[in-house]
Amino acid sequence: MAKVKTAFGRSPWLCFPAAVTLVALAPVAGAQTPNGRHVYERHCAICHGVSGDGNGEAAVRLVTKPADLTAGRYKFRSTPSGALPTDEDLFRTLMRGVRGTAMVPQTQVPETELRAVVAYLKTLSPRFAEPGRPAVPVPAPPTSTPEVAAKGAKLYKESGCPECHGDGGKGDGPSAKKGMKDSRELPIVPADLTRRPFKRGSDPRETWKSIGVGLDGTPMPSYSDALEPDQIWAVVLFLESLVTPDRRHPEDRLVPGEEALGDQIEREHHDKH
Amino acid sequence: MKTATWFILASILALVITGWALAENERELHAVNINYEGNNVWTPGTYVVYKGEKVRFKLFNRVKADPNVHGFAIDEFKVKADVYRDKPETVEFVAEKAGVFRIWCHLHPAHLGGQLLVLEK
């Protein structure tokens, strides 16, 4: 065989190990951008289902059913009622979890993989083809004083909140006692406003959002058409005054409810795979 | 025999007239909750009945946007219904006093309600 010289003046066969190395490394290089669908199927489908409709294998074990991700209706948003969540809203829910439910914080999953899941979630519902709307800005809170809390107490009553949440905020209002349903016609219970964390956490700015933009898919409407931003803050600060120290559960541990079950399901699923 | 027959016929006639009068004293109305130009409203906005009538409201929630439930309340007649999307409800009461009464959503007062007008006969 005639000796062939490469541009480097060496035999072309020396390129062979380099080529093999490149081919072997290619999948690893590709793994720098995780495949959202694969991450979803590994971590999320067990509850939310492969299609995202909320009917995963483990869903039957849960009282608070996994969200139907194909509906494109999200509770925890910073955008106006009826609008799609922002990417940050979705990422936040994945990172922080939905406290008290089996959707435990997904802190064991690398951030790049969670971001890939966020992108994948947006393919599960045709609603994401619609244009999104910008987040509603949460104004700075006023100083918490007894006067602001008293104003909030009055607004709480005038805004119809006791009908569902009860006079004392324990989630035992007349409508709650009749038994309420969400948009999927599953039973839903108004939040007990006297304990923390809420499903979206304890940050009062998140509580502001719950009141300001509502929880889509549930009977909780947006009150931004009825209350000014500072009035919403007054109600938030009134609600903070209802919480005694013994009713604040630490968020770095499993919160009572179904978090222990969610944690167990994750471990069982991990062990199987 | 003739007296008995007449008595029976007169009784039947009296019962028929009474029954007809009761039916005349009832009124059935329909109210539909819709989203109009960004506002959730009960429509039509005004309902008129006579004092003493037994009023039956059939309530329909046709609002597609969240929330999935709206209230229908008339405080003076102790009416309060939670009406879920596409799940009609019925409320009944006797309009025992005349006047103009507010119809409102007790779950979310910002939703536009209406008025019930009870007329003296």
pLDDT tens by residue, A64-98: 999 999 999 999 999 999 999 999 999 999 999 99
The pLDDT mean for chain B works out to: 91
Report the C-alpha gap between A84 and A132 in whole angstroms: 6
Does residue A224 belong to the interface with chain B, where contact is any CB pair within 8 Å? no
Whether B96 is in a domain gets the answer yes
Amino acid A31: pLDDT: 52
* Chain A residues 177-206 with a CB less than 8 Å from chain B: 178, 180-183
- What letters, b where the CB count within 10 A reaches 16 and e where it falls short, cover A93-120? bbebbbbbbbbbbbeebeeebbbbbbeb
pLDDT tens by residue, A179-233: 999 999 999 999 999 999 999 999 999 999 999 999 999 999 999 999 999 999 9
Report the C-alpha gap between A104 and A254 in whole angstroms: 8
Whether B110 is in a domain gets the answer yes
Whether B19 is in a domain gets the answer no
Are B66 and A163 inside 8 Å of each other by CB?
Answer: no
DSSP A162-229: HHHH-TTSSS--HHHHH-EE-TTS-EE----TTSB-BTTBS-HHHHHHHHHH--TTSS----TTTS-H
Whether B20 is in a domain gets the answer no
The pLDDT mean for chain A works out to: 92
Q: Which of B66, B82, B84, B102 to mutate to test the interface with A (most CBs of A within 10 A)?
A: B66
Instruction: Enter the pTM of the model.
Output: 0.85
Q: How many domains does the structure of chain B reveal?
A: 1
By CA distance, what is B105's nearest residue in A?
A160
Are A163 and B71 inside 8 Å of each other by CB?
Answer: yes
pLDDT tens by residue, A11-56: 666 666 666 655 555 555 445 689 999 999 999 999 999 999 999 9
CB A255 within 8 A of CB A104: no
Report the C-alpha gap between B12 and B7 in whole angstroms: 9
Question: What DSSP character marks residue B85?
Answer: B
By CA distance, what is A161's nearest residue in B?
B107
Q: Where is B62: in which H helix or E strand?
A: none
- Which domain, by its residues, includes B86? 27-119
Encoded tokens for A224? 């931004």
Are A220 and B107 inside 8 Å of each other by CB?
Answer: no
Residue B22 in this model has a pLDDT that exceeds 50: no
Whether B13 is in a domain gets the answer no
Report the C-alpha gap between A256 and A263 in whole angstroms: 12
Q: What percent of chain A has pLDDT over 70?
A: 88
The CATH number covering residue B59 comes to 2.60.40.420
Whether B18 is in a domain gets the answer no
Q: All domains of chain A, ordered by start, with CATH?
A: 36-134+258-272 (1.10.760), 146-247 (1.10.760.10)
By CA distance, what is B81's nearest residue in A?
A175
By CA distance, what is B107's nearest residue in A?
A160
| A73 vs B contacts (CB less than 8 Å) | 66
- Among A25-39, A93-107, B25-39, whose mean pLDDT is lowest? A25-39
Amino acid A26: pLDDT: 52
Whether B89 is in a domain gets the answer yes
B69: Cα separation from own chain's centroid? 19
